[in-house]
Amino acid sequence: MNTKLLYLRLLLALLASVPFIQAVTASSSLPKPDFVLSKDQNHSKFSRAIPPVIKVPSGSVIEADIHEATGGQLTIDSTTEDFKNVDMDRVHTLTGPIYVEGAEVGDVLAVELLSLEPGDWGWIGTGPFGFLGKENEELALKTYKLDKENNRVHFSDTISIPLSPFPGTMGVAPDTDEMLVTFPPRANGGNMDDPNMVAGTTVYFPVFAKGALFSIGDPHAVQGHGEVCGTALEVPMQALFRLTVLKNRIIEEPQYETATHYATTGFATTIDEAAIKATRYMVQHLMKTKDMSFVEAYMLCSLAGDLKIAEVVDRPHMLVTMHMPKNIFTADK
């Protein structure tokens, strides 16, 4: 046999095996949880007055079972009438809060998303809400069985969408005893609905209450940037994550990073304000971590920073992010 042909066949065989090897490695490298939470250990507000369901040391790995967005009120067999009668007080049923030992006001809580496994089904609904709520009076609900073997949801006979699961709502307790609704994004996190926060992402939250009091919920199997109709593909989920307290670090609003980029977030009641905050926080991040002047960091944000609309569904509350690629920093390689 021709040597070059043999080499080519061996190379193709090796390349064909890579996804399998990567999948096995990723699965086998996941740590076992130190603590396990059920979906019944939950709440549906944000407040430092909500007692924790568990106390854990910094660095603990948590496995959490999470309700879909309505807290179990909908199933795959639900109808539009069921959707109409959903108790809104139970929407965004969050697993938690989790008290992290050593977390003090002014610290940062790092949440490393290790694995996010959606359930077998999901739903999406819309009505006179969402970004075009004033233009839509029709209440509608669609449910789906997920094609987990192929990692897709079949929206219709001619439309198939790859799954990209993430928690729509995450956060720590805010600096108040008031019971705040979970719908808008805030400085403590909340309903950020950012589809970039998938497994492999580490999200950083400023701590506003002793113990941080972290909660997670509102799982999505897939969502576009914006979540414009009011919901994503809402699913139950089993999440595995690590909680670590970071000292001597200050941020004003959540930030996050993946292997490929670092991101800042900004929330506000207009896109302009949210985008300004996300840009300002990235400039500050670059000044602190890359020893850049304000002008240098500002210029770099213009050349390499990507502003993205994460969500507009909670109008007037908006969340905008800025992403900065890591591969441009040659000294870090």
What is the chain's mean pLDDT, rounded? 92
224/266 same-domain check: no
> Can you spell out the DSSP letters for 63-112?
EEEE--TTSS---TT--HHHHHT--GGGSS-EEEEEEETT--TT-EEEEE
At 50-75, the pLDDT tens digits run 999 999 999 999 999 999 999 999 99
d(CA 84, CA 78): 10
Q: Domain for residue 102, yes or no?
A: yes
Last residue of some domain: 249, 280, 303?
Answer: 249
Shared domain for 138 and 277, answered yes or no, is no
Same domain, 68 and 183: yes
User: 193 lies in a domain?
Assistant: yes
Question: What is the reported pLDDT for 333?
Answer: 63
Give the end of a domain, one of 231, 249, 267: 249
Q: Is 19 a residue whose pLDDT tops 90? A: no
Do 245 and 263 belong together in one domain? no
* 104 and 211 share one domain: yes
Give me the phi and psi of 256, to 5 degrees please: -155, 165
Tens digits of per-residue pLDDT, 147-174?
999 999 999 999 999 999 999 999 999 9
Cα(314)–Cα(161) distance, rounded to whole angstroms?
Answer: 24
CATH at 300: 3.10.28.20
Q: How confident is the model at residue 315 (pLDDT cuts 50, 70, 90)?
A: confident
Confidence (pLDDT) at 114: 98
- The answer as to whether 2 is a domain residue is no
- DSSP one-letter string for 277-331: HHHHHHHHHHHHHS---HHHHHHHHHHH-EEEEEE-TTTT-EEEEEEEEGGG-GG
Report the C-alpha gap between 197 and 203 in whole angstroms.
Answer: 8
The pLDDT value given to residue 18 = 40
Q: 67 with 198, same domain?
A: yes
Q: CA-based diameter of the chain, in Å?
A: 76
pLDDT at 13: 45
Q: Is 179 part of any domain?
A: yes
Do 141 and 284 lie in a common domain? no
Cβ contact 265:273 at 8 Å: no
Residue 65 domain flag:
yes
Both 274 and 237 in one domain: the answer is no
* CA atoms within 13 Å, Cβ hemisphere of 176: 10
Q: Which structural domain range is residue 226 located in?
A: 27-249
Please check whether residue 10 lies inside any domain of the structure.
no
**Among 195, 214, 249, residue at a domain's last position:** 249
Q: How confident is the model at residue 316 (pLDDT cuts 50, 70, 90)?
A: confident
Confidence of residue 28 (pLDDT cuts 50, 70, 90): low
Mean pLDDT of 209-234: 97
Q: What is the pLDDT of residue 122?
A: 98
Residue 1 has pLDDT above 60, yes or no: no
Residues 271, 158 within the same domain: no
Q: What is the pLDDT of residue 17?
A: 39
What percentage of the chain reaches a pLDDT higher than 90?
A: 86
State the pLDDT confidence band at 314, using cuts at 50, 70 and 90. Answer: confident
Amino acid at 63: E
Beta-sheet pairing, 152-154 with 160-162:
antiparallel
pLDDT at 24 over 60: no
pLDDT band (50, 70, 90) for residue 6 = very low
Chain-centroid distance, C-alpha 215: 12
Confidence band of 233 (pLDDT split at 50, 70, 90): very high
Domain annotation covers residue 6: no
Range 272-294 average pLDDT: 98
- pLDDT tens-digit series, residues 173-186: 999 999 999 999 99
| Higher local confidence (pLDDT), 90 or 102 | 102
| 326 and 276 assigned to the same domain | yes
CA angle 91, 194, 76 (to 5 degrees): 45
Mean pLDDT of 290-301: 98
CA distances from 1 to 5, 93, 314 (A): 7, 63, 64
Residue 140 maps to a domain = yes
Short-list 321, 105, 109, CA closest to 215: 109
Shared domain check, 154 and 111: yes
3-state DSSP call for residue 20?
helix
Q: pLDDT by residue (tens digit) across 186-199?
A: 999 999 999 999 99
The angle, 0 to 180 degrees and rounded to 10, between the axes of the packed helices 271-289 and 294-304 is 120
Please state the domain count of the chain. Answer: 2
Per-residue pLDDT reduced to its tens digit, 193-219: 999 999 999 999 999 999 999 999 999
What residues contact residue 113 under an 8 Å CB cut-off, 6+ apart? 166, 167, 197, 198, 199, 200, 201, 202, 203, 239, 241
Q: Is residue 25 helix, strand or coil?
A: helix
d(CA 109, CA 62): 14
DSSP state at residue 171: E
Predicted pLDDT at 214: 98
Based on the domain organization, do 234 and 264 belong to the same domain? no
- Which CATH number characterizes residue 117's domain? 2.60.120.580
The three-class DSSP label of residue 45 is: coil
pTM above 0.85, yes or no: yes
